[in-house]
């Protein structure tokens, strides 16, 4: 049972990791937390649904197209709606993100409001039985895809100057501008990547969760919990936090009470912030006065 829970937790955790990672990418380079991210996740899933089921595109190209579309949407969102309110109160940005999420959800509701749609399984594979342990196609597919993606992403960060640029923009946008970085374009790029990664989370989860306009609602808080656990702003921490949260949910649900799955993320947030506010890898979160 422990092994099975671990596997289930890993495959859920990979989705959380992806969502936490996409939130962190945006936060690191723009210091904005996208409070509407759940709906970006949902929008990615619906885009791929439209392409696969309604336009007959194969899954893989559809997923890539949906991610590109969400990249563009992320860039447009930054340019059209985030930039104009940057001069206002900082938390106006949080509300702007929520408002954008509402618009996305509103569109989905308008078109598919009364439906719960099935998304065809991508990776139809007979489950493998190892004794009592069942390994399903979904789990293999989700874990595999996210691992490959993480390798590429962290490889890029390690081998290029991208990581340093992100760090520079995060620490001081003005300083980054001084050394010749185009911060505006950099922010566009981060929003695009964040939206595309979030969309991928949606695309991966949709065959499991089914499609409905409220699909993304629960993912935002899981992303937050994963980020908090790993250390806010740490890319590696976001991934580890996501995986740990996935595992914690399964263990709490099976060994304690299934009613606790719902609040595992919240308990993690409260506990981490009170006990070790910097998370596993983050910098100090508390302010000393």
Partner 1 sequence: MKTFASLLAAFAVSASPLLAQDDAWETQGLTDDAITIGVMGPFSGNASSYSKALIGMMAYYDKVNAEGGVHGRQLVAVQEDTACDSAKGLAAAKKLISQDEVFMLQGNSCSGVAVALRPTIEEAGLPWIVAHAVSDSISDPLAANIFHGVPTGRANGRAMAQFVLSKPDTTNVAIIEHSNDWAHSYSNPARDYLEEQGVTPSLELTMERGQTDATAQVLKLRQEQPDFIIAALYEAETAIFLRDLKKYGMGDIPVMGTAGTDLENTLKRTGDFDTVKNYYVIHSYVDNLDGPLMQPWGDMIHEYYPEEELSTFSFVSIGSAEALVAALEAVGPELTRSKLMAALEEVRDFDTGILSDPITWTPEDHQGVKGSAVAGFVDGEPTVLKAWGQPY
Partner 2 sequence: MSQTKMPSARQRRLRSWLFWAVPAVLLLLPLATNPYTQFIANGILISVLVTLGFTLVIGNLGQLAFANTAFFGIGAYASAILAAKLGVPWLLTIPLAGAFGALGGFLASSAALRGIRSYYLAIITLAFGELMRWAYLHAKPVTGGTDGMPMPRETLLGTSLSDDTLKFYIFLAVTVLLVKATLNLMRSRFGRAVMAVRENEVATASLAIPTARVILVTFMWSGFVVGCAGALFARHVGHVFPESFGMLHLIASFAMVLVGGLGSVLGAVLGAVLLTALPEYLRAFPGMEELFFGLIVAGVLVAMPMGLASLLRRVSPIFVERFYREAP
Which residues sit at the interface with partner 1, rule CB under 8 A?
Answer: 1, 4-5, 8-9, 11-12, 15, 109, 113-118, 120-121, 127, 134, 136, 205, 208-210, 212-214, 217-218, 249-254, 258-259, 261-262
Helix (H, G, I), strand (E, B) or coil at 84: helix
Q: Which does 116 bind (CB under 5 to 8 A by kind): partner 2, partner 1, none?
A: partner 1
- For every residue of 236-263, DSSP letters joined together read HHHHHHHHHHHHHHHHIIIII-GGGHHH
Q: Which sign, positive or negative, has the C-alpha torsion 270, 275, 280, 282?
A: positive
Which one, 173 or 213, has the nearer CB to partner 1?
213
Which of 55, 58, 60, 84 touches partner 2 by CB under 8 A? 84
Site residues for partner 2, window 88-127 (CB under 8 A)? 88-92, 94-96, 98-107, 109-110, 113
Q: Which does 100 bind (CB under 5 to 8 A by kind): partner 2, partner 1, none?
A: partner 2
Which of 1, 130, 179, 287 touches partner 2 by CB under 8 A? 287
Q: Which does 265 bind (CB under 5 to 8 A by kind): partner 1, partner 2, none?
A: partner 2
Segment interacting with partner 2, rule: CB under 8 A, options 132-140, 162-170, 218-226, 245-253:
218-226
Which one, 31 or 167, has the nearer CB to partner 2?
31
Neighbours of 265 (CB within 10 A): 21
Buried b (16+ CB within 10 A) or exposed e, 202-235: bbbbbbbbebbbebbeebbebbbbbbbbbbbbbb
d(CA 10, CA 242): 9
Q: Show Cβ contacts of residue 255 under 8 Å, excluding neighbours closer than 6 positions.
A: none
Q: Which does 141 bind (CB under 5 to 8 A by kind): partner 1, partner 2, none?
A: none
d(CA 156, CA 162): 7
CB of 181 to partner 2, least distance (A): 24
Q: Which does 232 bind (CB under 5 to 8 A by kind): partner 2, partner 1, none?
A: partner 2
Q: Roughly what angle, to the nearest 10 degrees, separates helices 162-171 and 2-30?
A: 60
């Amino acid at each position: 049972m422990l092994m099975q829970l671990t596997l289930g937790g890993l495959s859920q955790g990979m989705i959380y990791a992806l969502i936490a990672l996409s939130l962190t990418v945006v936060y690191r380079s723009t210091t904005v937390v996208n409070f509407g991210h759940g709906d970006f996740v949902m929008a990615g899933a619906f885009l791929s649904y439209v392409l696969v089921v309604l336009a007959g595109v194969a899954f893989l190209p559809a997923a890539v197209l949906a991610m590109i579309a969400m990249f563009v949407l992320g860039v447009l969102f930054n340019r059209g709606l985030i930039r104009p309110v940057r001069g206002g109160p900082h938390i106006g940005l949080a509300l702007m993100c929520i408002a954008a999420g509402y618009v996305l959800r509103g569109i989905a509701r308008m078109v598919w409001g009364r439906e719960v749609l099935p998304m065809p399984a991508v990776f139809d594979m007979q489950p493998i039985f190892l004794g009592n342990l069942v390994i399903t196609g979904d789990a293999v597919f989700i874990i595999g895809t996210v691992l490959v993606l993480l390798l590429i992403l962290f490889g890029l960060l390690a081998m290029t100057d991208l990581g340093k640029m992100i760090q520079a923009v995060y620490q001081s946008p003005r300083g980054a501008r001084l050394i010749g970085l185009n911060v505006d374009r950099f922010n566009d790029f981060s929003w695009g990547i964040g939206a595309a990664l979030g969309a991928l989370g949606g695309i991966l989860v949709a065959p499991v969760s089914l499609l409905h306009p409220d699909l993304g609602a629960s993912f935002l808080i899981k992303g937050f919990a994963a980020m908090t656990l790993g250390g806010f702003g740490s890319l590696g921490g976001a991934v580890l936090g996501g995986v740990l949260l996935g595992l914690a949910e399964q263990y709490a649900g099976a060994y304690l009470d299934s009613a606790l799955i719902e609040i595992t993320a919240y308990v993690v947030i409260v506990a981490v912030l009170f006990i070790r506010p910097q998370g596993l890898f983050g910098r100090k979160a508390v302010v000393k006065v």
